[in-house]
């Protein structure tokens, strides 16, 4: 069926653009990885092997993604000036 009403655009999602969330996730993951390495140093770990390094990376990435999913909806939307 054809619509006779005005053409409407789909609603844009509220919140910041995806590139901002991706950058925030990368930064938070780096921060979590640094804290984990510091905690391992305090615990007396002299050297990380390949498996331990991968575990730190995976845990940091998961924690950073989780934090962004929590914080993302609470961030203000980015308003762009109209093009003209």
Q: Kindly state whether residue 83 falls inside one of the protein's structural domains.
A: no
**Greatest alpha-carbon span in the chain:** 71
d(CA 75, CA 23): 14
pTM (predicted TM-score): 0.73
Report the number of distinct structural domains present in the chain: 1
Strands (E), the chain: none
Instruction: Dump the DSSP string for 28-43.
Output: HHHHHHHHHHHHHHHT
Domain assignment present for residue 57? The answer is yes
Range of the domain at 34: 18-74
Residue 41 located in a structural domain: yes
pLDDT tens digits for range 59-73 = 999 999 999 999 988
Instruction: Report yes or no on 27 lying in a domain.
Output: yes
Tokens found for residue 82: 């109209």
Task: Report if residue 65 sits inside a domain.
Answer: yes
Encoded tokens for 31:
């921060």
- Per-residue pLDDT reduced to its tens digit, 17-64: 888 899 999 999 999 999 999 999 999 998 989 999 999 999 999 999
């Amino acid at each position: 069926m054809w619509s006779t009403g005005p053409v409407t655009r789909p609603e844009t999602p509220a919140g910041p653009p995806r590139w901002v969330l991706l950058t925030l996730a990368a930064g938070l993951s780096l921060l979590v990885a640094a804290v984990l390495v510091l905690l391992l140093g305090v615990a007396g770990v002299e050297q990380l092997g390949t498996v331990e390094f991968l575990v730190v990376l995976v845990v940091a990435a998961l924690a950073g993604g989780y934090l962004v999913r929590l914080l993302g909806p609470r961030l203000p939307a980015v308003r762009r000036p109209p093009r003209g």
